[in-house]
């Protein structure tokens, strides 16, 4: 009870009271897409078992979904710039819901390609949600608490992931030869998402507007202005892409890694992934609390060092100690996405929506799992962790640069 009271107090301190209801509504979306993205990490191993395909082949699940992010991120930004955050959310939910329900005819067709098409449509919907929700949360209150506020919302993203890997993992890995029917969870999810879309179509979300600046009046597109005049935004974009390569690839490879090392079976591995995502969620809640007391750049630097050390321990192939290091990595990486996202958007004013759409292209980094799959299929199960190591090193470089700038 005391913890709940403290958490509510923290929320009130972080968000203006007039924005509290919109903040709660938008935060509910973080749970939804956390759930949708985490299912992919279970689907990956499920389709390997059911369709007898390789890790590399099953990586097309991530490639196809995050290709939807990449191709639709800029159109999503244009849509939200023109029609506002609320309509962007509703349109994203509609695409998400329709894509999930298309699993029903996809199962009738019975081909892997049909399921990939459904996931691509879901990815297109998710990028609308994330392009709208992430910057919107940073605007719902004081600039000083924007990073902490986004970390708090993103904590529910981790909660959605926990539910997905535990519930869907236990359902699909039910110890039968083919596993559970993947259509069932997607049908339930599709109906739920469409109901939520109806709710959001009826609520009023206040639009946040910025005073026009000289930069807004200058000639040129918003994208060209960002790349020409905001060098640290460009570095932040690279850092976020590198983080996505690392984080999504690790999640997608997790079950393959622990089962390939003969540490556990598929069903137990899905529970282990759930535990890892619980570490991730705790890391975000804890990070949100700590960043009310220290600068976000300092926290990012500490966590980047922690991730690099953890992945080096995994690569050292130290048996169960490598597994412990991998679980600890989830704690360190937890604050990275919302922290980099928020720092990169700082001071962009009316360029915020366009910048957000560019940042939301970065989940294409999930294709890094394809490279991990290629390495795993041809070498050892440990070596693929070179891919996330490179990603975290780039994040470390960005964190060090931002830390130096705040010290000036």
Neighbours of 247 (CB within 10 A): 26
**More confident call, 298 vs 21:** 298
Least confident of 38-47, 245-254, 255-264: 38-47
Q: According to the model, what pLDDT value does residue 393 have?
A: 97
Listed in sequence order, the residues at least 6 apart from 345 whose beta carbon sits closer than 8 Å to its beta carbon are 135, 138, 233, 352, 355, 356, 359
**More confident call, 96 vs 51:** 96
Q: According to the model, what pLDDT value does residue 1 have?
A: 40
The residue ranges of every structural domain in the chain are 16-201+220-407
What does the alpha-carbon distance between residue 384 and residue 153 come to, in Å, rounded to a whole number? Answer: 31
- Cα–Cα distances in Å, from 137 out to 19, 24, 244, 296? 10, 10, 20, 16
Least confident of 53-57, 147-151, 206-210: 206-210
Least confident of 58-67, 203-212, 223-232: 203-212
Least confident of 37-51, 163-177, 273-287: 163-177
Q: According to the model, what pLDDT value does residue 126 have?
A: 93
pLDDT in tens, 279-325: 998 898 888 888 888 888 999 999 999 999 999 999 999 988 999 99
Q: Taking residues 180-188, report their average pLDDT.
A: 87
Listed in sequence order, the residues at least 6 apart from 128 whose beta carbon sits closer than 8 Å to its beta carbon are 72, 76, 79, 80, 88, 89, 91, 92, 95
Q: According to the model, what pLDDT value does residue 327 have?
A: 94
Identify which of 286, 344, 332 has the alpha carbon closest to the alpha carbon of residue 306. Answer: 332
SS3 content of the chain, % helix, strand, coil (to 5): 85, 0, 15
Identify which of 303, 389, 369 has the alpha carbon closest to the alpha carbon of residue 43. Answer: 369
Mean pLDDT taken over the chain:
85
Helices (H), 1-19: 2-14
What does the alpha-carbon distance between residue 230 and residue 285 come to, in Å, rounded to a whole number? Answer: 30
The CATH code for residues 16-201+220-407 is: 1.20.1250.20
In this prediction, residue 12 has a pLDDT band, given cuts at 50, 70 and 90, of very low
In this prediction, residue 5 has a pLDDT band, given cuts at 50, 70 and 90, of very low
Q: According to the model, what pLDDT value does residue 402 have?
A: 93
**More confident call, 396 vs 41:** 396
Q: Taking residues 36-56, report their average pLDDT.
A: 85
Identify which of 134, 115, 116, 138 has the alpha carbon closest to the alpha carbon of residue 126. Answer: 134
Q: Taking residues 35-55, report their average pLDDT.
A: 85
pLDDT in tens, 336-384: 998 998 899 888 877 887 888 899 889 888 888 889 989 988 888 999 9
Q: According to the model, what pLDDT value does residue 305 have?
A: 97
Q: Taking residues 28-38, report their average pLDDT.
A: 88
Q: Flag whether pLDDT at 40 surpasses 50.
A: yes
Q: Flag whether pLDDT at 6 surpasses 50.
A: no
In this prediction, residue 8 has a pLDDT band, given cuts at 50, 70 and 90, of very low
Least confident of 82-91, 95-104, 350-359: 350-359
In this prediction, residue 15 has a pLDDT band, given cuts at 50, 70 and 90, of low
Identify which of 80, 75, 120 has the alpha carbon closest to the alpha carbon of residue 98. Answer: 120
pLDDT in tens, 114-155: 999 999 999 999 999 988 888 788 777 777 777 778 878 878
Token couple for 41:
């990490």
């Amino acid at each position: 009870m005391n913890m709940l009271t403290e958490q509510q107090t923290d929320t009130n301190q972080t968000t203006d009271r007039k924005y509290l209801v919109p903040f709660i509504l938008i935060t509910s979306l973080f749970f939804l897409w956390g759930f949708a993205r985490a299912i992919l990490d279970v689907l990956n191993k499920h389709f390997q078992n059911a369709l007898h395909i390789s890790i590399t082949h099953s990586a097309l699940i991530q490639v196809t979904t995050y290709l939807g992010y990449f191709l639709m991120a800029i159109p999503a930004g244009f849509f939200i710039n023109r029609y506002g955050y609320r309509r962007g959310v509703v349109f994203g939910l509609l695409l998400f819901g329709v894509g999930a329900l298309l699993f029903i005819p996809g199962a009738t067709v019975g081909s892997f390609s049909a399921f990939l098409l459904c996931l691509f449509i879901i990815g297109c919907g998710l990028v609308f949600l994330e392009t709208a929700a992430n910057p919107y949360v940073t605007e719902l209150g004081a600039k000083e608490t924007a990073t902490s506020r986004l970390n708090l919302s993103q904590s529910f993203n981790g909660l959605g992931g926990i539910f997905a890997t535990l519930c869907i993992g236990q359902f699909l890995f039910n110890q039968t030869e083919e596993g559970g029917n993947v259509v069932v969870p997607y049908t339930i999810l599709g109906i739920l998402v469409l109901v939520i879309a109806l709710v959001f179509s009826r609520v009023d979300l206040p639009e946040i507007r910025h005073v026009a600046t000289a930069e807004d009046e200058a000639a040129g597109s918003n994208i060209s202005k960002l790349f020409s005049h905001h060098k640290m935004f460009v570095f932040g974009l690279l850092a976020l892409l590198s983080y996505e390569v690392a984080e999504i690839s690790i999640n997608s490879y997790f079950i393959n890694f622990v089962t390939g090392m003969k540490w556990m079976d598929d069903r137990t591995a899905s529970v282990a992934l759930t535990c890892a995502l619980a570490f991730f969620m705790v890391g975000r809640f804890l990070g949100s609390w700590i960043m009310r007391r220290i600068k976000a750049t300092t926290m990012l630097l500490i966590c980047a060092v922690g991730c690099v050390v953890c992945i080096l321990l995994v690569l050292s192939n130290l048996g169960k100690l490598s597994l412990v290091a991998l679980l600890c990595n989830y704690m360190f990486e937890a604050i990275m996405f919302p922290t980099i996202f928020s720092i990169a958007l700082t001071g962009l004013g009316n360029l915020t929506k366009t910048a957000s759409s560019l940042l939301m292209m970065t989940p294409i980094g999930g294709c890094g799992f394809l490279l991990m799959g290629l390495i795993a299929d041809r070498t050892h199960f440990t070596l693929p962790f070179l891919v996330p190591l490179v990603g975290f090193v780039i994040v470390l470089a960005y964190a060090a640069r931002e830390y130096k700038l705040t010290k000036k």
